Structure 1
Amino acid sequence: MSRQTLAAELRAVLDPLSDEVLKATPQASDYDLNPSIRPDQTRPLRPAAVLVPVIWREPGATVLLTRRADTLNSHTGQVAFPGGRIEPGETVVEAALREAHEEVGLDPAKIHPLGLSDVYETGTGFCVTPVVAVVDTPFELTLNPDEVAAAFETPWDFLMDTGNYRKESMVWNGAERWFWAMRWDDIGTERYIWGATAGMIRRLQQRMARLSGGGG
């Protein structure tokens, strides 16, 4: 598959680049696997955006992910997409590009947004819009040590393979909570992709599977 083919397939399955998504009800959430602890549906959610950076490499595409800094107050050390809160007056695309530049130094001129994946509600009360984009190569990264401990690329084919997903659980606040997880061996370093990040990737995988008539 070429970069052009992958970009065309992504455009075919993604929602258009529009701010109307800010008014939408989340299409997926951390509570999909935990319906018994779902909070009040009327709780206010804070709008956020993440960038899903798809990079064309030989022999295939990859997705850029980060490991959050160990000094952060929340989600310490977890794997995530570059992203954060949407500031007043920003579009979801503007927020995703700004956060990617602030966190890993990714040049906005190298990023070409294709569309939006499923809006995702996190257990921490964020309504996250994933902005899927292709990234021109070569590029340089400059990590913000206050936010990011590492950046790495995971093969697109690995993330789109349902056989790599596992339902796992942990006890939090006295209750068992389930989540999706994947374990990627990054040249001897295990990258544990789980929670909201894995949930958003899985929803993107399900969109791609519908394009080919497959399940997920």
Structure 2
Amino acid sequence: MSRLKARLAAALEPVEAWRADAAPGLGDHDLNPGYVPADQPLRPAAVLIPVVDRAEGPTLLLTRRSDSLASHTGQIAFPGGRLEPGETAVEAALREAFEEVGLPLGDVEPLGLSDSYRTVTGFVVTPVVAWVRPGFTPVLDPGEVADVFEAPFDWLMDSANHRRDVQTFDGHERTYWAMPWGERYIWGATAGMLRALSLRLHPERREDAA
């Protein structure tokens, strides 16, 4: 087991700790008090945060959503989606990763759960962090994914690369985390979940994280 793999396993919640009725942890509301309605119905979802064990250094596998989707078109995301009836977060994350990018189940080892994330669209997303063996060939579902790429894990976990950006949505000014990497603009819930994982790995930074 590599040092990073061991650190991740120690920092994350065990997969057995997941509960369908658990209250959401972090979310879009953290930087935007009052932006998310208190009585909003919540739907469970899960994403896979795939850490690829590259010899030259670990990477994170990310996707660019299809331009034909009804919402969040073209945004950077993790493989994932809503839970089907009877599914756990881990089962949903693995299923979605296989359906969206062809990630073989035999190459994926779930390590644990990061902080759940409530989105402004009414989802409570459970991030499932997994260790991925390199060598697989992505097979994209064109209806869901336009592109897949890998970004350096250490760069994404470095708080110096996290910034707060502001945009106006539906007449409301909204603040969100962003991590621009080259031509890729990683922002919103994806960036928020990455930042949460970074703080789990570096708890000494929490006092300066607000």
TM-score interval for Structure 1 and Structure 2 normalised by the shorter chain:
over 0.9
Residue range with higher mean Cα deviation, 15-24 or 160-169? 15-24
Task: State the secondary structure of the residue aligned to 1:129.
Answer: strand
Structure 1 residue 214: Cα displacement: 4.0
2:74 aligned with 1:81: no
Which amino acid in 2 is paired with 1:191?
A: R
Q: How many residues align?
A: 207
1:89-100 pair list within 5 angstroms: 89-100=86-97
CA distance in 2, matches of 1:16, 1:191: 31
Which amino acid in 1 is paired with 2:23?
A: T
1:57-72 pair list within 5 angstroms: 57-72=54-69
CA distance in 1, matches of 2:98, 2:137: 11
1:89-168 pair list within 5 angstroms: 89-168=86-165
Are 1:19 and 1:92, in contact at CA under 8 Å, matched by a contact in 2? no
Are 1:19 and 1:91, in contact at CA under 8 Å, matched by a contact in 2? no
Are 1:143 and 1:150, in contact at CA under 8 Å, matched by a contact in 2? yes
Structure 1 residue 83: Cα displacement: 0.2
Structure 1 residue 19: Cα displacement: 5.8
CA distance in 2, matches of 1:22, 1:6: 29
- Residue by residue over 1:150-193, the C-alpha shift from the partner in whole angstroms, topping out at 9 and shown as x without a partner, is 000010111111111110011111110000001111xxxx0100
- Residue by residue over 1:45-67, the C-alpha shift from the partner in whole angstroms, topping out at 9 and shown as x without a partner, is 11000000001113210000000
RMSD of equivalent CA atoms:
1.2
Which amino acid in 2 is paired with 1:148?
A: V
Q: Which portions of structure 1, spanning 4 or more consecutive aligned residues, are displaced by more than 4 angstroms?
A: none
**Structure 1 unaligned runs (5+)?**
none
Are 2:18 and 2:89, in contact at CA under 8 Å, matched by a contact in 1? no
Kindly, what percent of the aligned residue pairs are identical? 57
TM-score with structure 2 setting the length: 0.95
TM-score with structure 1 setting the length: 0.93
